[in-house]
């Protein structure tokens, strides 16, 4: 029997639609704004930064904020603002690579495990457990040793570490969809398993996956910064936020602000993607109401 | 003596959508009142508002006088004192209404511990007695089981045990048998009937099933579109209702009943029940009513005498079978 | 029975569900034969195995023992690719109108999908419009999403979808149980009419004996995976033999008879 709460969900859906609804959710809106800002900065930095990020100017090293250098300069006289802007590209790249790797490997595996169950599912899940147990840091070190240290190798490692998360999220959500009556109906009119995965399962789990990917993106940025800090990721002198923090720590007494800028940038980026992910998840739950 | 007096109860969402719109009715001491309606009628929300268990984002206004105390105006603390005590509730879904991680006996005894201050041991003993009263076989064994180990009907009985544990004055039962099989439903309804008679308490039974109401209740309140459309004694409501909606419900219930002749098309109500909050202005039933008139653009008020009231500009007053119908 | 091959038949089917700790025998050697043009009601409560039977009849699940036949040809235990013709001929409508339609698809696509999946020839747009009209839904319903419709309307969409491939057999699993009383009658009328108009063979699964009575001429009563009684509806309702059948009939709440008498004239 349809009870009142479900009808309320129906009523609320009607007042909002699409982008407007998205914009009204505080998490999604705030997250979206932050992410948008960072992406914009990254795009701009491709064609212009106040100074070349690598331009060294020893005579102006460790200068505080001023009109010519709004965020000051580092120990080599490089403009912090320019390096911060260029660094955003690295962070975004890091997020994209790792989330892409995790998605390409994890989502199909999760779908496979959900659809076929039995032995294939057990294989996928146990492999995923192995990956989960393997420390990401160790993987990063191994890969860097094998393939040379760079952002890409570091993020490959992080991406592999993310795979189990996506496998599980994909599988559990796919199982719910696969258990629904509309999938049973689809089987009744002859849809094959792959077509069902493509037409029914993926569209219905997409929003949840995107929310998860957004959260992973934020973790990737953090992880990349951490790896840079340890010297395993982006090699200097390429500007990256983690590297900037690493060098700034040597000058904490002389120029404390030097570490604040990249730290804040990381904070905002992580916050932005996290909020975006949470907001998307909230919206999805609200749309389905309590009937989900 | 009037035990419960609901006056002009409204329940709205945070966005201002009126889901229950000015509901008023009374329940006398020891009386059995059936609240009947379909989805979107607001009957469940009315029950939740009375007991003070509305969900997040829903607000109730109006008055709910229980023994002359306005439940909407008193503190939550006072409501907690009354809930499970003088005022108890039986829910629709026994699986979700019982705590899956707590043994049944402990849950049944919980109200007694809270309201009567019984010790753990005394409450456990009382719980077994209560489980026996609701005709659960081997009550001592049931008491130590978890909800998932019982069947749906047994869980519903356990819930009734909780509801009567503190000698309530009023039991609010929200679709207590809808989720149950028909044979189980029969037994659970008989149990409810017996318990209410033994306790001498009043019963507010919320359901969509007119047959159940005709078997269990003394008076019937029909709701549609968040409003009360008719109130009256059950004999009147199942033989010659005045509101076209009640009449249509009755006709359909009779036709779909097991004793009706099985051929021919069934009488239906044209159109669909609009979603909550999407009812037309004026009389909520106006788009589907066979007796629709221009006057129906104005919201009709509930009017009538002490025993029977109807909210309709053109109520059915002619006796059944007359050509004027 | 005139000896013609039944449209749909389950012969001694059993279904065993095995989990790590225990086994559940959902169906125990159940045989049901549905002749062409028949309207068969399968009545049972929860745990009777009626929904399992529905799935087995449509080869959506495989029996542990026994076999299911469509017009004499076995359909259980076959590969999906061999069942395309069968799928065109037998369709299903489910109980819950909320979960039986993909919330992410427009109604047009929901109704058109069986046509595409089964390769039904003909103009798709025309056919969808025809189907929506036959279930009394407005033509523009196709553009909207399921959540914009009421329960009864969603059930109509589900029926339209099932009728797309012009099936011979329609299995309806509790088609009106989740609907409001006032809408139930509408859908029941619709089903009765469609059965007449399209000469459908109907298998109606329900726990509601009143609904079955209106739509079916023969009844099969299931209890805990066994058939306890079956036969023509008049006999089952008039003089039930098995005690469980009698219990089912007695248990249904009734509008007090003396009141009902007064209303017969309307």
Coil, helix or strand at residue C14:
strand
Verify whether the Cβ–Cβ distance A200 to C102 is below 8 Å: yes
Coil, helix or strand at residue C20:
coil
For B108, phi then psi, to 5°, come to -65, -35
Mean pLDDT of chain A: 84
Mean pLDDT, range C216-222, rounded to an integer:
95
For the ranges A28-32, B222-226, B260-264, C245-249, the lowest mean pLDDT is seen at B260-264
Shortest distance between the Cα of A2 and any Cα of chain C, in A, equals 7
Residue A126 near chain C (CB below 8 Å):
no
Residue C248 near chain B (CB below 8 Å):
yes
Nearest to B44 among A4, A12, A14 (CB): A4
The pLDDT-based confidence of C69 (bands split at 50, 70, 90) is very high
Given a contact cutoff of 8 angstroms between Cβ atoms, the answer to whether C164 and C112 are in contact is: yes
Query: Would you kindly state where each structural domain of chain C is located, as residue ranges?
Result: 8-263
Q: In the 8-state DSSP scheme, what is residue B178? A: T
Verify whether the Cβ–Cβ distance B320 to C256 is below 8 Å: no
Q: In the 8-state DSSP scheme, what is residue B279? A: P
Q: Find where tokens 């907690």 sit.
A: B80
Q: Nearest residue of B to residue C186 by CA position?
A: B268
Distance of alpha carbon B115 from alpha carbon B72, whole angstroms = 21
Query: Which of C180, C208, C211, C232 is the best substitution to test chain B (most B C-beta atoms within 10 A)?
Result: C180
The residue among B242, B238, B231 whose CA lies nearest residue B307 is B231
Contacts of C263 in chain B (CB under 8 A): 238-240, 250-251, 254, 320
User: For residue B1, with 0-12 CB atoms within 10 Å meaning exposed, 13-18 middle and 19 or more buried, which class applies?
Assistant: exposed
Beta bridge partners of C219: C41, C231
Distance of CA C12 to the CA centre of its chain: 20
Residue by residue, DSSP assigns C207-218 as: S-HHHHHHH-SE
Coil, helix or strand at residue A121:
helix
Coil, helix or strand at residue C230:
strand
pLDDT of residue A2: 36
Q: In the 8-state DSSP scheme, what is residue C100? A: S
Residue A195 near chain B (CB below 8 Å):
no
Chains adjacent to A (≥3 CB pairs closer than 8 angstroms): B, C
Query: Which of C58, C117, C144, C165 is the best substitution to test chain A (most A C-beta atoms within 10 A)?
Result: C117
Nearest to B19 among A2, A3, A4 (CB): A4
List pLDDT tens digits, range C28-66: 999 999 999 999 999 999 889 999 999 999 999 999 999
Residues of B with CB under 8 A from a CB of A: 13, 15, 17, 19, 39-40, 42, 44-45, 55, 92, 175, 178, 208, 275-278
For B301, phi then psi, to 5°, come to -100, 155
Verify whether the Cβ–Cβ distance B183 to C189 is below 8 Å: no
Distance of alpha carbon B69 from alpha carbon B74, whole angstroms = 8
Mean pLDDT, range A196-221, rounded to an integer:
91
| Helix-helix angle A257-288:A26-47, to 10 degrees | 130
Other CB atoms within 10 Å distance of the CB of residue B97: 18
Alpha-helical (H) ranges within chain B are 43-51, 76-82, 94-97, 104-116, 120-133, 139-143, 152-164, 182-199, 210-216, 234-237, 244-255
Q: Would the pLDDT of A108 be above 90?
A: yes
Q: Find where tokens 């419960």 sit.
A: B4
Residues 45-84 on C with a CB inside 8 Å of B are: 45-46
Residue B324 near chain C (CB below 8 Å):
no
Torsion of CA A11, A16, A17, A21, to 10 degrees: -130
The residue among B12, C103, B174 whose CA lies nearest residue A12 is B12
Query: Which of B251, B262, B270 is the best substitution to test chain C (most C C-beta atoms within 10 A)?
Result: B262
Residues 163-182 on C with a CB inside 8 Å of B are: 180-182
Contacts of A7 in chain B (CB under 8 A): 19, 39-40, 275-277
Chains adjacent to C (≥3 CB pairs closer than 8 angstroms): A, B
List pLDDT tens digits, range B132-163: 999 999 999 999 999 989 988 899 999 999 99
User: For residue A135, with 0-12 CB atoms within 10 Å meaning exposed, 13-18 middle and 19 or more buried, which class applies?
Assistant: exposed
Verify whether the Cβ–Cβ distance C117 to A190 is below 8 Å: yes
pLDDT of residue A278: 86
Q: Would the pLDDT of B290 be above 70?
A: yes
Distances (CA, A) of A12 to A3, C23, C154, C193: 15, 44, 19, 36
Given a contact cutoff of 8 angstroms between Cβ atoms, the answer to whether B111 and B85 are in contact is: yes
pLDDT of residue C202: 96
Chains adjacent to B (≥3 CB pairs closer than 8 angstroms): A, C
Distance of alpha carbon C199 from alpha carbon B49, whole angstroms = 50
Contacts of A10 in chain B (CB under 8 A): 275-276
Shortest distance between the Cα of A219 and any Cα of chain C, in A, equals 30
Q: Tell how strand B32-36 and strand B219-224 pair up.
A: parallel
Residue C22 near chain B (CB below 8 Å):
no
Q: Which CATH class is domain C8-263?
A: alpha beta
Distance of alpha carbon C89 from alpha carbon C198, whole angstroms = 12
pLDDT of residue A17: 54
Mean pLDDT, range B82-86, rounded to an integer:
89
CA atoms within 13 A on the CB side of C217: 10
Q: Find where tokens 């029926």 sit.
A: C159
Q: Is B301 left (phi over 0), alpha (psi -120 to 50) or beta?
A: beta
Contacts of B214 in chain C (CB under 8 A): 253-256, 259
What domains appear along chain A, each with residue ranges and CATH number? Answer: 20-46+77-291 (1.10.3720.10)
List pLDDT tens digits, range C157-210: 999 999 999 999 999 999 998 888 888 889 999 999 999 999 999 999 998 888
Architecture of domain B2-86+166-310: 3-Layer(aba) Sandwich (3.40)
Distance of alpha carbon C103 from alpha carbon C125, whole angstroms = 21
The pLDDT-based confidence of A13 (bands split at 50, 70, 90) is very low
Verify whether the Cβ–Cβ distance A3 to B44 is below 8 Å: yes
pLDDT of residue C46: 85
Residues 162-201 on A with a CB inside 8 Å of C are: 180-182, 184-192, 195, 199-200
Residue B277 near chain C (CB below 8 Å):
no
Mean pLDDT of chain C: 89
Residues 131-190 on B with a CB inside 8 Å of C are: 152, 181-186, 189
Verify whether the Cβ–Cβ distance B238 to C260 is below 8 Å: yes
pLDDT of residue C2: 52
Q: What is the ipTM of this complex?
A: 0.86
For A239, phi then psi, to 5°, come to -75, 125
The residue among B81, B50, B43 whose CA lies nearest residue B202 is B50
The pLDDT-based confidence of C155 (bands split at 50, 70, 90) is very high
Contacts of B178 in chain A (CB under 8 A): 1
Mean pLDDT, range B64-78, rounded to an integer:
91
Q: Would the pLDDT of B280 be above 50?
A: yes
Query: Would you kindly state where each structural domain of chain B is located, as residue ranges?
Result: 2-86+166-310, 96-165
List pLDDT tens digits, range C235-249: 999 999 999 999 999
Distance of CA A65 to the CA centre of its chain: 31
Q: Supply the Cα-derived Rg of chain C in whole angstroms.
A: 19
| Helix-helix angle A257-288:A241-249, to 10 degrees | 140
Q: Would the pLDDT of B316 be above 60?
A: yes
Shortest distance between the Cα of A198 and any Cα of chain B, in A, equals 32
Nearest to B275 among A3, A11, A15 (CB): A11
How many beta-carbon contacts under 8 Å exist across A and B? 44
Verify whether the Cβ–Cβ distance A11 to B276 is below 8 Å: yes
Q: Supply the Cα-derived Rg of chain A in whole angstroms.
A: 23
Residue A5 near chain B (CB below 8 Å):
yes
Torsion of CA B236, B237, B242, B247, to 10 degrees: -140
Verify whether the Cβ–Cβ distance A189 to C114 is below 8 Å: yes
The pLDDT-based confidence of A234 (bands split at 50, 70, 90) is confident
Q: Would the pLDDT of C218 be above 50?
A: yes
Query: Which of B35, B37, B39, B92 is the best substitution to test chain A (most A C-beta atoms within 10 A)?
Result: B39
Angle value at C-alpha C230, between B185 and C189, nearest 5 degrees:
65
Given a contact cutoff of 8 angstroms between Cβ atoms, the answer to whether C222 and C242 are in contact is: no
């Amino acid at each position: 029997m349809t009870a009142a709460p479900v009808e309320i969900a129906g009523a609320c859906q009607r007042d909002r639609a699409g982008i407007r609804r998205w914009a009204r959710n505080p998490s999604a809106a705030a997250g979206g704004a932050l992410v948008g800002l960072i992406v914009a900065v990254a795009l701009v930095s491709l064609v212009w930064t106040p100074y070349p990020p690598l331009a060294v100017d020893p005579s102006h090293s460790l200068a505080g904020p001023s009109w010519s250098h709004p965020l000051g300069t580092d120990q080599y006289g490089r403009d912090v603002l320019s390096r911060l802007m260029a660094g955003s590209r690295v962070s975004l790249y890091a997020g994209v690579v790792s989330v892409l790797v995790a998605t390409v490997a994890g989502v199909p595996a999760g779908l496979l495990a959900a659809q076929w169950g039995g032995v294939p599912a057990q294989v996928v899940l146990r492999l995923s457990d192995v990956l989960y147990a393997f420390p990401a840091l160790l993987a990063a070190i191994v890969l860097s040793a094998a393939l040379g240290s760079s952002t890409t190798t570091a993020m490959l490692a992080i991406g592999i570490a993310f795979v189990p998360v996506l496998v599980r999220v994909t599988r559990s959500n796919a199982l719910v969809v696969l258990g629904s009556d509309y999938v049973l109906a689809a089987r009744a009119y002859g849809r094959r398993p792959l077509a069902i995965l493509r037409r029914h399962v993926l569209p219905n789990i997409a929003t949840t996956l995107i929310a998860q990917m957004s959260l992973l993106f934020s973790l990737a940025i953090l992880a990349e910064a951490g790896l840079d800090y340890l010297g395993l990721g982006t090699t200097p002198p390429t500007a990256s936020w983690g590297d900037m923090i690493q060098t700034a720590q040597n000058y904490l007494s002389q120029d404390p602000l030097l570490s604040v800028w990249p730290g804040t940038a990381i904070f905002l980026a992580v916050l932005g993607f996290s909020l975006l992910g949470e907001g998307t998840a909230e919206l999805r739950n609200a749309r389905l109401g309590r009937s989900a | 003596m009037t035990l419960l007096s609901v006056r002009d109860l409204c329940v709205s969402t945070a966005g201002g959508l009126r889901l229950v719109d000015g509901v008023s009715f009374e329940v006398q001491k020891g009386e059995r009142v059936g609240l009947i309606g379909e989805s979107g009628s607001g009957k469940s929300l009315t029950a939740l508002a009375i007991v003070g268990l509305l969900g997040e984002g829903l607000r109730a206004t109006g008055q709910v006088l229980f023994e002359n105390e306005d439940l909407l105006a008193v503190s939550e603390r006072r409501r907690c004192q009354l809930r499970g005590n003088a005022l108890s509730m039986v829910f629709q879904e026994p699986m979700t209404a019982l705590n899956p991680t707590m043994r049944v006996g402990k849950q049944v005894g919980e109200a007694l511990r809270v309201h009567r201050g019984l010790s753990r041991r005394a409450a456990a003993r009382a719980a077994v007695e209560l489980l026996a009263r609701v005709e659960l076989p081997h009550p001592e064994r049931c008491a130590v089981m978890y909800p998932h180990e019982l069947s749906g009907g047994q869980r519903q009985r356990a819930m009734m045990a909780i509801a009567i544990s503190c000698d309530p004055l009023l039991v609010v039962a929200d679709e207590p048998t809808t989720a149950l099989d028909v044979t189980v439903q029969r037994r659970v309804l008989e149990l409810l009937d017996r318990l209410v008679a033994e306790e001498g308490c009043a019963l507010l039974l919320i359901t969509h099933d007119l047959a159940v109401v005709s078997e269990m209740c003394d008076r019937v309140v029909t709701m549609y579109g968040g409003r009360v459309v008719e109130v009256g004694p059950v004999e009147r409501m199942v033989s010659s209702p005045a509101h076209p909606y009640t009449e249509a419900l009755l006709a359909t219930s009779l036709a779909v009943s097991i004793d009706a002749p099985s051929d021919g098309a069934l009488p239906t109500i044209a159109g669909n029940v609009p979603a909550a909050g999407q009812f037309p202005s004026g009389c909520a039933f106006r788009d589907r009513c066979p007796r629709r008139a221009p006057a129906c653009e104005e919201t009709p008020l509930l009017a009538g005498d002490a025993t029977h009231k109807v909210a309709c500009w053109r109520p059915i007053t002619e006796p059944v079978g007359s050509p004027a119908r | 029975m005139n000896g013609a091959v039944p449209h749909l038949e389950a012969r001694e089917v059993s279904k065993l569900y095995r989990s790590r700790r225990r086994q559940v025998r959902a169906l125990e050697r159940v045989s049901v034969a549905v002749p062409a043009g028949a309207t068969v009601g399968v009545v049972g409560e929860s745990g009777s195995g009626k929904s399992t039977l529905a799935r087995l009849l449509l080869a959506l699940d495989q029996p542990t023992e026994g076999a299911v036949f469509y017009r004499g040809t076995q359909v259980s235990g076959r590969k999906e690719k061999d069942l395309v013709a069968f799928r065109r001929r037998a369709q299903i409508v489910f109980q819950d109108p909320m979960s039986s339609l993909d919330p992410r698809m427009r109604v047009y696509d929901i109704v058109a999908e069986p046509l595409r999946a089964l390769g039904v020839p003909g103009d798709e747009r025309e056919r969808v419009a025809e189907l929506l009209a036959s279930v009394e839904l407005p033509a523009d319903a196709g553009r909207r999403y399921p959540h914009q419709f009421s329960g009864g309307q969603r059930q109509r969409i589900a029926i339209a979808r099932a009728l797309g491939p012009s099936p011979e057999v329609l299995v309806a699993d509790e088609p009106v149980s989740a609907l409001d009383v006032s809408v139930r009658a509408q859908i029941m009328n619709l089903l009765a009419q469609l059965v007449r108009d399209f000469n459908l063979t109907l298998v109606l699964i329900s726990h509601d004996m009143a609904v079955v009575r209106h739509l079916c001429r023969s009844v099969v009563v299931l209890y805990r995976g066994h058939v306890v009684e079956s036969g023509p509806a008049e006999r089952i309702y008039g003089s039930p033999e098995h005690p469980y059948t009698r219990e089912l009939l007695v248990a249904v709440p009734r509008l007090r008879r003396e009141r009902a008498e007064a209303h017969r004239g309307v």
